[in-house]
Amino acid sequence: MNFNKNMFGFLPLLFAVSCASSQINSAPPKEKLARIVMIADSSSQVEPYIKHLCLDIGPRLTGSTQCNNAVKWAKEKFDSFGLKGTIEEWGTYPVGFDRGALTGKIISPIQKNIDVGTSSWAMGTDGPKHGPVRMMPANAEEYQKNPGIYKNAWIMRTTAGRAAGAVTELMNQMREGGALGFLRNTGSDLIHTGGNPGVEWDKWSKNVSINLKDSEYKEIAQMVKDEKEVALEFNISNKFVKGPISLNNVYADLVGSEKPDEYIIIGGHIDSWDGAQGATDNGTGVVTTLEAARLLTKGGFKPKRTIRFMLWSGEEEGLLGSQGWISKHQDMLPKISCVIVHDEGTNYLNGLQVTKSVRPLFEPALAPLMTLDPKMPFELKDVRSLPIGIGSDHDSFLMAGVPGFFWMQQKGDVEYERQHHTQYDKVDVVRNDYQKHSSIVIAYTALSVANLDQAVPRDGLIAGAGRKRLGIQPDGDMKLTAVTPGGMAEKAGIKVGDKIIKINKNKIGNLEDLREELAAPEKTAIITVLRDGKEIDIKVEWP
């Protein structure tokens, strides 16, 4: 963001950069915001932070060496700002997992690099492995007719019309017979990464299962169908580390001047899936948290309440780090005014959702943000209750009765769902101008909320139906790219490829619309999906 000198009429009256700390803290709100902007314009660190975190340290699967390194780096950054960084264990994993190389290519009849992925806590190739491609036989009997042709070959896995157990049994048999591994079609051009951290030592599947995007899987399958001699090479370095593996959060406090034992918590999760670089999920949230801490400390601000800058791990596996922290600090919960989480990518922060009781506090406190930059507008959106079930760490606090807010990021030029848990979650999609702007917004909001005359009210936090999840992964057009096995959506008959267009006859155009409808107190919803050009009403009832 380029700071507009005419943005605030008071700017000519502003300090000559050497304003004393007491003057800063007693200055009008717009002057405080202007000082934060000035520091960001002169020395923004968002670009070097995101590059170091995601390129030098790398993706940060919870329990990996990279995640632990990122936690240590964040502590060092907090320390360098003059804060005291603290690393705190919240649990352990039985097995750690470090990912290295993740590459694939067609060797013949053409030469081409291809996108690949595997689950976390899954077998790799133990170095580059190349071999011919074969289609998976229909069953064990067909395999036994000529098992030699599958030895040292890559097998194109097909599951249509097969029981899951039968497929796994056949894969085990073929692996024991010398097959290199199995190629799976993801069904789209997005390769999502997930995995189960609960594996026990040496009890994980020994099958090498590689995910390919739909277009490249079909390209390879067509060449095999055309009876061309197809050969592939994969180099997938997946390393298991014997546990227990220490799992940690990291935080630092800008101690309050009047109410040091009351808290405003801002932050995000420092872990990521490891199929790419973990840039927009959630390197961006890490960077803005660190930068907000730097802006406030460098600016000499002394908030009335303590501002805690907090980065949790274990978020991707189920909000484990934030839940672990809450379980250990029950005595602190009544003292937390609110928690605000940044965890939806690189688009600029365009507002917060507020309840009827919160708006009278936030509206005057955050008024200067409304005119901060006309190109990046900011608003407060009225909601019946704070939305729960979004799937980030503020949910943990909402479930514990603490006001938890999730930044709105529906405006901007980057399609978050294209990067979310996919092979495209890389630094090159991060918008540093948006990151700089968001850091300013976070810093000013944290300062303003910490300086409120009262804590954020807790009435009407959560809708009466409580936590409601569908178990879906929609893209930017609300078309489903994944449906969680065993989740509410699958149980109701919702499928991958369905496009959610309405809930209870209310139009659904984006994730915010979805969250708003799921926050309604009713335990039953009629979800209208578009499938094969037809609108279908599906009833979902939460227990």
According to the model, what pLDDT value does residue 373 have? 97
What is the structure's pLDDT at 21?
A: 61
Please list the ranges in the chain whose pLDDT falls under 50.
1-19, 464-466
Name the CATH superfamily, with its identifier, for domain 11-94+244-450.
Zn peptidases (3.40.630.10)
| Strand pairing class (154-156; 129-135) | parallel
**Average pLDDT over the chain, rounded to an integer:** 92
User: How many Å from the N-terminal Cα to the C-terminal Cα in the chain?
Assistant: 47
State the span(s) of the chain assigned CATH 3.50.30.30. Answer: 99-241
**Could you identify the residue written with the tokens 């609960």?**
198
- Residue bearing tokens 């922290």: 325
Domain 99-241 in CATH 3.40.50.720: no
Report how far residue 175's alpha carbon sits from residue 206's, in angstroms, rounded to the nearest whole number. 8
pLDDT of residue 15: 41
Residue range(s) occupied by CATH 2.30.42.10 in the chain: 472-541
Q: Which of 236, 230, 27, 277 is nearest to 129 (CA)?
A: 236
pLDDT tens-digit series, residues 313-338:
999 999 999 999 999 999 999 999 99
3-state secondary structure of 342: coil
What does the alpha-carbon distance between residue 233 and residue 227 come to, in Å, rounded to a whole number? Answer: 19
Report whether 463 contacts 385 (CB < 8 A).
Answer: yes
Record the pTM: 0.86
Give start-end residues of each CATH 3.40.630.10 domain in the chain: 11-94+244-450
* pLDDT of res. 468: 67
CATH number, domain 472-541: 2.30.42.10
